[in-house]
Amino acid sequence: MILFIPVIKPLFATLGVDPVHAGVMIVLNMTIGLSTPPVGTSLFIAASIAKTDLQTATRHMTPFMIAVIIVLLLVTYYPPITLWFPDLVMK
């Protein structure tokens, strides 16, 4: 994230994407990336803590990943979901 975000931030600014909205999208994408193979660091750690094999952990994690993907799609294509609270606080 330290290398990626400074590179991509001007692109978001050029496209007119709010920085808070961009940050939420990046974090959700990172969650998906860290929880799915082949990188899946969080998946490997969770499977080792639960003392189960990777296939079982992946099978049990699938409904949660579907939910995260749906939330990512909603947040990406409908920005007011992300921005309603910051807008409420900043008024």
Tell me whether residue 2 is in a domain: no
- The parent domain of residue 80 ranges over 19-90
What's the pLDDT score for residue 37?
81
- Structural domains in the chain (count): 1
Residues whose CB is less than 8 angstroms from the CB of residue 61 and which lie 6 or more positions away in sequence, other chains included:
35, 43, 46
* Predicted confidence (pLDDT) per residue in 20-76, tens digit: 999 999 999 999 998 888 888 888 998 999 999 989 998 999 999 999 999 999 999
Q: Which residue has the higher pLDDT, 86 or 48?
A: 48
- Identify which of 37, 38, 31, 12 has the alpha carbon closest to the alpha carbon of residue 70: 31
What's the pLDDT score for residue 85?
87
What's the pLDDT score for residue 67?
95
Tell me whether residue 8 is in a domain: no
CA distance 8 to 87: 24
What's the pLDDT score for residue 22?
93
